[in-house]
Amino acid sequence: MLDPKLLRESPEVVRAAIARKHLDVDLDTVLALDAAWRAQLQEVEALRGQQKAANTAMAALPKGTPEFVAKVAEMKAVSAAAKEKDTALKDTEEKWKQAMLTLPNLPHASVPAGRTPEENVVFATHGDITALSPQAVPHWEIGGFDRLFDFARGAKVTGAGFPFYVGDGARIVRALLQFFLDEDVQAGYTEVAPPIFVNAASATATGQLPDKEGQMYETTPDHLYAVPTAEVPLTNFYRDEILPEESLPVRRCAYTPCFRREAGSYGKDVRGLNRLHQFDKVELLKWVHPATSYDELDKLRDDAERLLRKLELPYRVLLMCGGDLGFAQTKKYDLEVWAAGQKRWLEVSSCSNFEAFQARRAQIRYRARDTGKPELVHTLNGSGLAVPRVLAALLENNLQADGRVKIPAALAPYFGKEYLTFG
């Protein structure tokens, strides 16, 4: 959520910043609701002042006197007016709160201008894409792929985008997850095993609601949401809490299955492991001091990049332009690996800074040492990493002439073999 003070004092700054995200936002309605709420609040407070004054005057008058009776009548009239105004105030306040939730976070000054993904900036590259397997093919065309990654039976049991992983298919997924978690813990993150369902308050705190209702699976009658990412339960770990300043930064990592409806997905983007409704991912999350949040973003990105380097995967880093920046982010980097069979880049991680946007919604604060006052933390998160597309690139880039897949040296101890076979 944006700072209401910023909205009131600099509405044109907010309007221009939202325009950089190329979003259609009814800022005028939010401003009108804010003005109405503040005006009604003043009226209610004035009536409460009159009630207090009438009570004081009554206490000084003898009961039963004409003056006392007149004050009683006056107080009843004021009380009725205050009650009516207070009801209207609460209604306006609720509308204002809901309208505030429709305002996106503002992009950082370093975010490049642009409307489409094609206008994202290549920030860095690593590895040689020309030195990969000459026999690479799209992973779903590898002989025996369906024996390890059974999409047909997954579709029968659940639906499209819910594959079975069988034998070495399951083993390689487990190996990747354990590798990611071990590396993240060594980098200073504390591992957490969070719930994989969250309530609406949690999804609202991180910005999934009211922005992404159509992308999440919701249960009935409990109205819980299957997590689209571990970011949601992890961020809410400290909801409505105040941390000591000396505890910052706090770093956590978590593995969860992730569930996304991916409504409207089609074409080459959904072939094979490219886009699933259920997939496995390790998430990195930080609660940090505002003064260090952009340094922490660079460190977060490097933590995700290190995993790709150890897996010997060529990758590039994109700095997202305003139009391709998410609703809640102020700045975001995407990491994309090269898939030699498809001859295209596949996103495997997003590393984002939300500044105080999520923290204000979730009321996650730290107590400042110098003033003793609670202040909002900054939150950051990144994928470290998402399994399916990493696996797709590993299968394609390391495919051997005999149909086996060479396992990177860093991953082999977790997999237990040097080669994955499809037989």
- How far is it, in rounded angstroms, from Cα 362 to Cα 259? 22
Candidate list 349, 350, 352, 383, residue with the active-site label: 350
- SS3 labels along the chain: CCCHHHHHHCHHHHHHHHHHCCCCCCHHHHHHHHHHHHHHHHHHHHHHHHHHHHHHHHHCCCCCCHHHHHHHHHHHHHHHHHHHHHHHHHHHHHHHHHHHCCCCCCCCCCCCCCCCHHHCEEEEEECCHHHCCCCCCCHHHCCCHHHHEEHHHHHHHCCCCCCEECCHHHHHHHHHHHHHHHHHHHCCCEEECCCCEECHHHHHHHCCCCCCHHHCCECCCCCCEECCCCHHHHHHHHCCCEEEHHHCCEEEEEEEEEECCCCCCCHHHHCCCCCCCEEEEEEEEEEECHHHHHHHHHHHHHHHHHHHHHCCCCEEEEECCHHHCCCCCCEEEEEEEEECCCCEEEEEEEEEECCCHHHHHHCCEEECCCCCCEEECEEEEEEEEEHHHHHHHHHHHCECCCCCEECCCCCHHHHCCCEECCC
Residues ≥6 apart with Cβ < 8 Å to 134? none
Candidate list 360, 361, 365, 389, residue with the active-site label: 389
Residues ≥6 apart with Cβ < 8 Å to 240? 362, 363, 364
**Is the backbone of residue 263 left (phi > 0), alpha (psi -120 to 50) or beta?**
beta
CB half-sphere exposure, 267, CA atoms < 13 A: 2
Q: Is 389 a residue of the active site?
A: yes
- How far is it, in rounded angstroms, from Cα 63 to Cα 324? 71
| CA 144 from centroid of its chain's CA atoms | 36
Q: Is 350 a residue of the active site?
A: yes
Candidate list 74, 93, 245, 347, residue with the active-site label: 347
Candidate list 20, 251, 252, 260, residue with the active-site label: 260
Q: Is 275 a residue of the active site?
A: yes
Candidate list 20, 251, 252, 275, residue with the active-site label: 275
Nearest to 298 by CA among 281, 319, 282, 280: 319
Q: Is 260 a residue of the active site?
A: yes
* φ, ψ at 9 (rounded to 5°): -85, -30
- Residues taking part in catalysis: 260, 275, 347, 350, 389
